[in-house]
Amino acid sequence: MNSSLSVYNSLKGEKQVFESIVAGHVGMYVCGPTVYSNVHLGNCRTFISFDLMYRYLKHLGYKVRYVRNITDAGHLENDADEGEDRIAKKARLESIEPMEVVQRYTVDFRNIMAQFNALPPSIEPTATGHIVEQIELIKEIMEQGYAYEVNGSVYFDVLKFNKDIPYGKLSGRNIEDLIHNTRTLDGQSDKKNPQDFALWKKAEPVHIMRWPSPWSDGFPGWHLECTAMSRKYLGTQFDIHGGGMDLKFPHHECEIAQAESIDKTPPVNYWLHANMLTLNGKKMAKSTGNNILPKEMFNGSNEVFKKAFSPMAVRFFTLQAHYRSIVDLSETALEASEKGFNRLLEALQTLENLSPSAATTDFDFKAWKEKCYEAMNDDFNSPLLIAHLFDAVKFINSVANQKQEISEKDLEDLKNLFNAFFYDVLGLKSTENDGVKDVSQLEGTLKLLLEIRDQARASKDFETSDLIRDALLELNIQINDAPEGSSFKIN
């Protein structure tokens, strides 16, 4: 292969050749979801983007430790350290334990990511599981003189830090702009300056998510968990940190400040940011209601699109755009992706049944392979890789139609590489066991059985009707007979 992997490093504002700290190994941290509601398709797009990177790094032979956290405490409604904890608020509104909220939406998240065929990370740590580490981190930051305590809460002193180490490197904001643009404190706040951010917040008496600390019974600030967990599992300096573009500031900027205040060295070599999924031209977001849940997409129950789309069609749709470009979700684009995905699937089948036909091949396999790797090595350019796969599809179909020829060796190599890109790198799979189609097929079959049973009952053929009822019951499918017709329930 001629090219090597380059990635767009948000910290430098340019593409750089990727070199890992330890040869052959990659440490990658990605900010995970705040589990106070179901993930929407925008969140999923970001996690699919990092799944693509994880898969490609593994494909290149790296041993990757991929850490993606679960934020189950500390993320307040408002990024300026104000408002209620998102999870505590949901628990209050639903009159359930905060950990029930966490459990429900963590399970939902994992389930959805599995449907998208995203690989689970190597470690999936939680904020509440790392309170001790976060308290230790605060002590270290205080020892360095970059944090102060007021009334049981601890804040990071951004102005003091900035005197020694520049703050704002990642988001390109300088401290003067920040001072100018941050609204002044309203007198209620304990902060010395509005730019400061919370490391520890004293819990109000009503706040149920609280832990003891040297400063108060309280809870950690949102930015702290990622520093604590990335340092713990990947070390004080690691290769890749990722998240959605909207996390650059303040979240990632604060992570950098926290780590640098102790270690005096940049914690991360490459910062990668995935761009936003929009709906009707606006960012998909939980808070505005401008969003679609994955399951509403898979079962067609959303109000935006007329038909359902399978997890693989949606995954393919996200991969057909580069992870750094904004993508708008539209029915036309989804339909085109669904068609394209099916064309690739069919080509895989055709390729499997293809026979070699000549000593030479009417296709420059070596050049094609180079182009595929060049695409992925150019900052994970999956849309370009997919375009190259479609070039191969044309050739595959024309061999199948006996218009072109392929040698035995090239056929073997083409099969291997096409399969590797389709399954391992793009993380696609056949929809046989998870598609929308399958649910409707199953439903159709059951309805047909019920009809046959109804007809048997009408003609007093109770042997047949009982046979169907008992056989279904063994499969945990219960038939309910009612005057208006029978129905089934899957137990």
Give contact residues for ligand AMP (rule: CB under 6 A). Answer: 31, 33-34, 42-43, 45-46, 243-244, 246-247, 276-277, 283-285
Judge whether 313 and 334 are in contact, CB under 8 Å. yes
Please identify, using beta-carbon distances, which residue of 285 and 456 lies nearer to ligand AMP.
285
Please identify, using beta-carbon distances, which residue of 69 and 261 lies nearer to ligand AMP.
69
Residue 112 beta carbon to ligand AMP: minimum distance, rounded to whole angstroms? 12
C-alpha 107/C-alpha 96 separation (Å) is 16
C-alpha 320/C-alpha 48 separation (Å) is 12
| Interacting partner of 283 out of ligand AMP, Zn ion, none (Cβ under 5 to 8 A depending on kind) | ligand AMP
Residue 31 beta carbon to Zn ion: minimum distance, rounded to whole angstroms? 3
Q: Where are the alpha helices (DSSP H) in 165-252?
A: 175-181, 222-234
C-alpha 373/C-alpha 383 separation (Å) is 12
Please identify, using beta-carbon distances, which residue of 255 and 410 lies nearer to Zn ion.
255
Residue 86 beta carbon to Zn ion: minimum distance, rounded to whole angstroms? 14
Residue 321 beta carbon to ligand AMP: minimum distance, rounded to whole angstroms? 11
**b or e along 463-476 (b: 16 or more beta carbons within 10 Å of the residue's beta carbon)?**
eebeebbeebeeee
Q: Where are the beta strands (DSSP E) in 132-224?
A: 147-150, 153-156, 197-202, 218-220
Q: How far apart are the first and last CA of the chain?
A: 54
Tokens representing 462 are 């109770």
Helical (H) or strand (E) element with 53: helix 41-59
CB-nearest residue to ligand AMP:
244
Task: Return the SS3 of 389.
Answer: helix
C-alpha 204/C-alpha 346 separation (Å) is 60
Burial label for 94, CB within 10 Å (0-12, 13-18, 19+), is: exposed
Please identify, using beta-carbon distances, which residue of 211 and 249 lies nearer to ligand AMP.
249
Residue 226 beta carbon to Zn ion: minimum distance, rounded to whole angstroms? 3
| Interacting partner of 276 out of Zn ion, ligand AMP, none (Cβ under 5 to 8 A depending on kind) | ligand AMP
C-alpha 34/C-alpha 46 separation (Å) is 14
Judge whether 417 and 410 are in contact, CB under 8 Å. no
| Interacting partner of 226 out of Zn ion, ligand AMP, none (Cβ under 5 to 8 A depending on kind) | Zn ion
Tokens representing 287 are 């808070």
Task: Return the SS3 of 63.
Answer: strand
C-alpha 355/C-alpha 420 separation (Å) is 20
Binding mask 33-72 for Zn ion (x = CB under 5 A): ----------------------------------------
| Interacting partner of 33 out of Zn ion, ligand AMP, none (Cβ under 5 to 8 A depending on kind) | ligand AMP
Please identify, using beta-carbon distances, which residue of 161 and 309 lies nearer to ligand AMP.
309
Residue 79 beta carbon to ligand AMP: minimum distance, rounded to whole angstroms? 11
Please identify, using beta-carbon distances, which residue of 127 and 297 lies nearer to Zn ion.
127
Please identify, using beta-carbon distances, which residue of 31 and 414 lies nearer to Zn ion.
31
| Interacting partner of 284 out of Zn ion, ligand AMP, none (Cβ under 5 to 8 A depending on kind) | ligand AMP
Looking at 199-207, 224-232, 301-309, 408-416, which segment touches Zn ion (CB under 5 A)? 224-232
Please identify, using beta-carbon distances, which residue of 34 and 117 lies nearer to Zn ion.
34
* By the rule CB under 5 A, 256 interacts with Zn ion: no
| Interacting partner of 34 out of Zn ion, ligand AMP, none (Cβ under 5 to 8 A depending on kind) | ligand AMP
| Interacting partner of 449 out of ligand AMP, Zn ion, none (Cβ under 5 to 8 A depending on kind) | none
Judge whether 170 and 249 are in contact, CB under 8 Å. yes
Helical (H) or strand (E) element with 109: helix 98-115
Instruction: Pick the binder of Zn ion from 226, 240, 347, 450 (CB under 5 A).
Output: 226
Residue 23 beta carbon to ligand AMP: minimum distance, rounded to whole angstroms? 29
Binding site for Zn ion (CB under 5 A): 31, 226
